[in-house]
Chains A and B, each alone.
Chain A
């Protein structure tokens, strides 16, 4: 079992870790599927609050958008696996995690190109 935390903005991964006011938390079973999930609304957007929440939840994995180096290093030091720079919906992240294909910098969002 591993606990996954994704700072979100609506249905998408929040573009910035420090500005996310909501967090999606999922528990991934041994077969890779998610057995439990919930959303937590934070009192205010703050990188420190988020770090505290990740550690207090005992999260194993963080999936986020842009994150500053110091928070990235801190969480890695705390043995959290961080997939940063991810541009995706939460659904796409779940799917990629279940399939074991998620990487840092992954762009899993549908593109709309005019012209």
Chain B
């Protein structure tokens, strides 16, 4: 492809094209190396990054030109093999201007038409602008897109940067709607793999046979309908992070395959006997109690130990106290801006109701409630009647769903309505009677106020009181108003 003096690309276009014309205007530094790792060509961005001109660099060992922190001990070219894809590393280079420049370094093996290795290509992306951005982005009370300032979340935020910098497997646990997906993405974004792919797979969303092919890929002809090779999510996540959400729903046979991968980082596509080495960090998440699943024989204990290297538990919103107010304001500001509304805040009543609500669907439910209120509200302040009716209509006791209660429907399954605690041996009739009595007690017997509390008209309350036998005997036949 390239001659030493005048690098040309031939065979692609009708006439040979100069390398400079193709590579010089690229924003990333590109360096071509010979088989013995000497510089053949570097584009303009590489000249700027290293401070060496093409003429100066040509023919020199790459370690003296690139001067990256991984050159001496972890040369990415050493990790390139016949079956591996590009190898990417986060590193830094020291250039001729004596500046240390953070870079993402990706190396690829170059082969001739017969498959013989002829050299290597290195692409270096200057990360200085991204680093600046990260610093600016680091707002108070935030980690990635997760907001919180409660002690529980502060503890979590304190350990996350350290976790992100390692390559260990992470297991994220927490109730539905707590932000497990966001956390996984934030860990990826803060890690050295940030520029690599972040691939998400919902283990509960696909049947076992499809999931195996989806995760590990298949060879052409492996099964009926496999008309071509499929790389699989593990290979797509090469040099990045694979996020396995709802890991508790992973079928047992696939748990074994995942365990094998975590041991040796080699995947075996369906129908293939040849393993492929991939460099992937695994982050798993679940709302299920994996320990209980292990006891029930539904989850492999050894896989739990492998995944449980770093365990992060996101507390439910009801345990995050002051975060509710912070999140309400955060989402209100976001939706007001998105929907071009002029809402300034919440009324006292609405805020009281919002702060007292137990949020069984956690942050996702809170976000949906604020979105609904912003949609409905045409005033400057969100009033109690702008909130979803299930929050205000029946002041029932609400309990959070137990971890196992959710159907296997993936992270997206939203708890739409609160779960009502049923009275033993009762049903709606007895519950309604109890609600009326409670409202009357709270209203100190004033039926007008009790009707308000229940969100009913006075006549409805009277009719229902009569139905439940709560009226005094002399009231039963008349429609006398309350005192």
Contact = CB atoms under 8 A, between A and B. Distances in A.
Interface of A: 9, 12, 14-19, 65-69, 72, 84-85, 87, 105, 107, 109, 111-115
A16 B4 contact: no
Contact of B36 (A69, A112, A115): A112
B34 interface: yes
B98 A16 contact: no
B98 A67 contact: yes
B446 interface: no
Interface stretch (B61-69, B207-215, B283-291, B363-371): B61-69
A67 B94 contact: yes
Nearest to A110: B59
B442 interface: no
A66 B94 contact: yes
A9 B72 contact: yes
B476 interface: no
Interface in B63-89: 63-64, 67, 69, 71-73
Contact of B58 (A69, A72, A113): A113
B144 to A, nearest CB: 31
Contacts of B56: 107
A87 B60 contact: yes
Contact of B34 (A12, A15, A65, A114): A114
Given A9-B72, A15-B72, A115 B2 contact: yes
A77 to B, nearest CB: 14
B337 interface: no
Given A16-B67, A68-B100, A113 B94 contact: no
Nearest to A104: B96
Given A65-B67, A68-B99, A111-B60, 18 more contacts: A9-B63, A15-B71, A16-B71, A16-B72, A66-B94, A66-B96, A68-B94, A69-B97, A72-B98, A87-B60, A111-B58, A111-B59, A112-B36, A112-B59, A113-B4, A113-B58, A114-B38, A114-B40
A42 B382 CA distance: 67
A66 B58 contact: no
B430 interface: no
Given A67-B94, A113-B4, A15 B100 contact: no
Interface in B38-61: 38, 40, 51, 56, 58-61
Given A109-B60, A112-B59, A19 B72 contact: yes
List 10 tightest A-B contacts by C-beta distance, closest first.
A111-B59, A66-B94, A69-B98, A113-B59, A66-B67, A113-B4, A87-B64, A115-B4, A15-B67, A15-B63
A114 B7 CA distance: 12
A85 B95 CA distance: 9
B256 to A, nearest CB: 41
